[in-house]
A and B are shown apart, each in its own frame.
Chain A
Amino acid sequence: MAGNVWVLAEQWRGQLSDITYEVLALGKEVATALGVDLQAVLLGHEIKDLARSLGEANSVLYLDHTALATPVPETFAHALTFAIRARRPHVVLIPLTNVNWELGALLAAELEVGYVNACKDVRSEGGKLETRSLLYGGKMEAIVNPGQSPAILGILPGVRPTDQGRADAMPPVEELTVDLLETSSIRWKRYLEVEAGDIDISKQEVLVSVGRGIQSRDNVALAEDLAGALGGAVCGSRPVIDQGWLPLSRQVGKSGVVVKPKLYVAAGISGAPEHVEGMKNSDLIVAVNSDPQAPIFNVAHYGINADVMDVLPTLTEAVHSRKEVKKHAA
């Protein structure tokens, strides 16, 4: 009898993340194809109530320990390793966000089994698993057949619609007692919240977002001009924030904010998966990039294959003159 399919229920600060439901929806498909049960695994301290929201799973395995009250990745890896050794699942799906970024790799190393990173899909046919990973900034994908059991798979956000993994059913919860030593070498201190004072980009209706293609801090002004003309704000992808051209509060994507404006202009952004997960649900996406193969064009509704430094000023001017005309007409 093959082992079950497990989904790690990602909880952060006592709340289940959306990706948990996305991965549960995927897990359900894989479990059904393999003819086994889908189990959600919940790790934490005094959060058993969260199991009620995991109805998509046939059952929930809950590990409670004071050491799991704070986000020390190694402690979570030890707890999950213990559970995997005790119950022998066949597949373990790990939501790949920056809450559990290093967990899959740590688990696989501890268990001495393989790990497949950055899966955008997992399928099962005839008992065989097939994973599809996004590599090279989203420019290539690799198909892998993880042969070993358990297969530890890191799943990218957006693998299935969130709602598909929500169910009203009340799953049976089983508690598994785990002995954990609080690691003496890493001590959790506290969370540092986002500095207040800056605008909240998740509340803006129009965003002009800049990426590496903007080339220098000075050119961010071109995006600010367009954002000003459209009545919106400027944000950016990770490389721009890492360069210090925009504050962290303006970062869209994995480590930043998830946005859903009416208009998202992606200027000089290639469209790496970490960025796309933060903006793909925007109402209207316009991408400007000099690389015709940029993955952002697979997400955008309208594309402009040109240099952002040429397009932004021209567009700003066109928006201004149209507003002028409208004003006179009125």
Chain B
Amino acid sequence: MKIIVLLKMVPDVVEELELAADGKALDTEFLRMIANEFDNHALEEALLLKEKYSGTVTVVALDAPEVDDALFTALAKGADQALKITDGDGTLGTRAGAYRLAQTLSSVPGLLPADLILTGAQAIDDLDGLTAPLVSHLLGLPQLAIVTKISVDTTAGVATVLREFPGGVRGEYEVKLPAVLGIQAAEKPPRYVPVAKVRAAMKSQAIQSVPAATAADGGVGLLPVEEMSKPEVTEHAQMLKGSPEEIANQLCEILAARGLL
């Protein structure tokens, strides 16, 4: 089975986010970029499927800061091939990014058809679209998002897919391959790979750079962001201060006053 994983770099929100001087985007200078966590789940699901049904996993990412680290990590985890789409200007939104991904996938010989194209069901910077439905539309393939489980009948070329609904209910679908699936969570948490193994991958394996196909975006273009800002705080928690014991006692008073203790 041939699986492609689309991986995107996003800012690590554990770090403080600063605004650029024009107030319309993040200041990229101090930004720490990491792989979108849902894409990590997509990679994990791909690796689990490969272990189960055998096949290959190719990870594809648009160029971005720290992307090499993410791609070598994917190789160290067991991906067979890593592709970096260069000439990206790094400011593509989700929509233009999806167009670029779809066009490049189609233009690089040997990539398509793949049985499955997996990517995260969402990313924290999705302002103008979602990657999975856009890529599926552009490639003319069926799609489902918020997927948590995939099993494949390789002979029939069909996958049984679970998609999340509210309240913990899941829906079961039968999807004809090839298909694009937006992964919410892999069946197992993404595997850990030691740094030594990533370093070894850097020495023994290579990332293949491919130029981006023309950056057409379906005539839609980037959404013009007028302003970006930290959300205005209308109400803020009353912060409890002091030593851990003092804080615990203050909170007990509050709970007792409400009859909760």
- Which residues of chain A have a CB within 8 Å of any CB of chain B? 12, 17, 71-74, 97-99, 101-102, 105-106, 108-110, 112-118, 130, 133-148, 183-194, 206, 230, 238-239, 241-244, 248-249, 251, 254-258, 262-263, 270, 284-287, 291, 293, 295, 297-306, 310-311, 314-315, 317-319, 322-323, 326
Q: Are A262 and B260 in contact (CB under 8 A)?
A: yes
In whole angstroms, what is the CA distance A133 to B94 when docked? Answer: 14
Q: Are B230 and A139 in contact (CB under 8 A)?
A: yes
In whole angstroms, what is the CA distance A293 to B237 when docked? Answer: 11
* Least Cβ–Cβ distance between B116 and chain A, in angstroms: 13
Q: Are B146 and A98 in contact (CB under 8 A)?
A: yes
Q: Is the C-beta of B84 less than 8 angstroms from some C-beta in chain A?
A: no
Q: Are B189 and A192 in contact (CB under 8 A)?
A: no
Q: Are B237 and A298 in contact (CB under 8 A)?
A: yes
In whole angstroms, what is the CA distance A113 to B95 when docked? Answer: 11
Q: Across the interface, name the chain B residue whose C-beta is closest to A19.
A: B166
Show 26 A/B contacts (Cβ-Cβ < 8 Å), sorted by A. A12-B166, A73-B133, A73-B143, A97-B166, A98-B166, A109-B218, A115-B129, A136-B17, A136-B125, A139-B13, A139-B230, A143-B226, A185-B175, A186-B173, A188-B171, A191-B172, A193-B169, A257-B167, A262-B258, A297-B237, A299-B237, A302-B254, A303-B240, A304-B247, A306-B247, A318-B249
In whole angstroms, what is the CA distance A297 to B16 when docked? Answer: 15
Q: Is the C-beta of B228 less than 8 angstroms from some C-beta in chain A?
A: yes
- Which segment of B57-65, B178-186, B198-206 sits at the interface? B178-186
8 Å CB contact of A116 from B128, B238, B239: B128
Which residues of A lie under 8 Å from residue B95 when comparing CB positions? 108, 114-115
Q: Are A302 and B240 in contact (CB under 8 A)?
A: yes
Q: Are A112 and B219 in contact (CB under 8 A)?
A: yes
Q: Are A117 and B126 in contact (CB under 8 A)?
A: yes
For chain B residues 227-241, which have a beta carbon within 8 Å of chain A? 227-231, 233-240
Which residues of B lie under 8 Å from residue A326 when comparing CB positions? 261
The 8 A-B residue pairs with the shortest CB-CB distance, nearest first, are: A303-B237, A318-B248, A300-B237, A185-B142, A109-B137, A242-B185, A189-B172, A185-B176
Q: Is the C-beta of B87 less than 8 angstroms from some C-beta in chain A?
A: no
In whole angstroms, what is the CA distance A147 to B245 when docked? Answer: 55
Q: Are B244 and A192 in contact (CB under 8 A)?
A: no
Residue from the set A192, A242, A306, A326 with the largest chain B CB neighbour count within 10 Å: A242
Which residues of A lie under 8 Å from residue B245 when comparing CB positions? 314, 318
In whole angstroms, what is the CA distance A319 to B250 when docked? Answer: 11
- Once A144-B226, A191-B170, A249-B168 are accepted as A-B contacts, the answer to whether A105 and B261 lie under 8 Å apart by CB is no
- Once A136-B13, A141-B228, A146-B223 are accepted as A-B contacts, the answer to whether A191 and B169 lie under 8 Å apart by CB is yes
Q: Is the C-beta of B256 less than 8 angstroms from some C-beta in chain A?
A: yes
In whole angstroms, what is the CA distance A228 to B74 when docked? Answer: 41
Scoring B residues 12 to 42 as 1 if CB is less than 8 Å from chain A, else 0, what string do you get?
A: 0110110000000010000000000100010
Q: Across the interface, name the chain A residue whose C-beta is closest to B95.
A: A115
Q: Are B251 and A242 in contact (CB under 8 A)?
A: no
Q: Are A108 and B144 in contact (CB under 8 A)?
A: no
- Once A116-B223, A257-B167 are accepted as A-B contacts, the answer to whether A139 and B17 lie under 8 Å apart by CB is yes
* Least Cβ–Cβ distance between A70 and chain B, in angstroms: 9
Q: Across the interface, name the chain A residue whose C-beta is closest to B137.
A: A109
Which residues of B lie under 8 Å from residue A188 when comparing CB positions? 171-173
Q: Is the C-beta of B97 less than 8 angstroms from some C-beta in chain A?
A: no
Interface range for B: 35 or more
- Once A136-B125, A144-B226, A318-B251 are accepted as A-B contacts, the answer to whether A303 and B26 lie under 8 Å apart by CB is no
8 Å CB contact of A293 from B16, B125, B174, B218: B16
In whole angstroms, what is the CA distance A285 to B258 when docked? Answer: 12
Q: Is the C-beta of B127 less than 8 angstroms from some C-beta in chain A?
A: yes
Q: Are B133 and A317 in contact (CB under 8 A)?
A: no
Q: Are B129 and A105 in contact (CB under 8 A)?
A: yes
8 Å CB contact of B26 from A140, A186, A206: A140
Q: Are A137 and B124 in contact (CB under 8 A)?
A: yes
* Least Cβ–Cβ distance between A221 and chain B, in angstroms: 18
Which residues of A lie under 8 Å from residue B14 when comparing CB positions? 291
Q: Across the interface, name the chain B residue whose C-beta is closest to A206.
A: B260
8 Å CB contact of B146 from A72, A142, A255, A298: A255
Q: Across the interface, name the chain A residue whose C-beta is closest to B178.
A: A185
Q: Is the C-beta of B138 less than 8 angstroms from some C-beta in chain A?
A: yes
Q: Are A189 and B168 in contact (CB under 8 A)?
A: no
Which residues of A lie under 8 Å from residue B26 when comparing CB positions? 136, 140
Q: Across the interface, name the chain B residue whose C-beta is closest to A315.
A: B248
Q: Are B174 and A187 in contact (CB under 8 A)?
A: yes
Q: Are A301 and B247 in contact (CB under 8 A)?
A: no
Q: Are A322 and B256 in contact (CB under 8 A)?
A: yes
Scoring B residues 114 to 149 as 1 if CB is less than 8 Å from chain A, else 0, what string do you get?
A: 000000010011111110111001100111111000
Q: Is the C-beta of B11 less than 8 angstroms from some C-beta in chain A?
A: yes
8 Å CB contact of B252 from A97, A109, A298, A322: A322
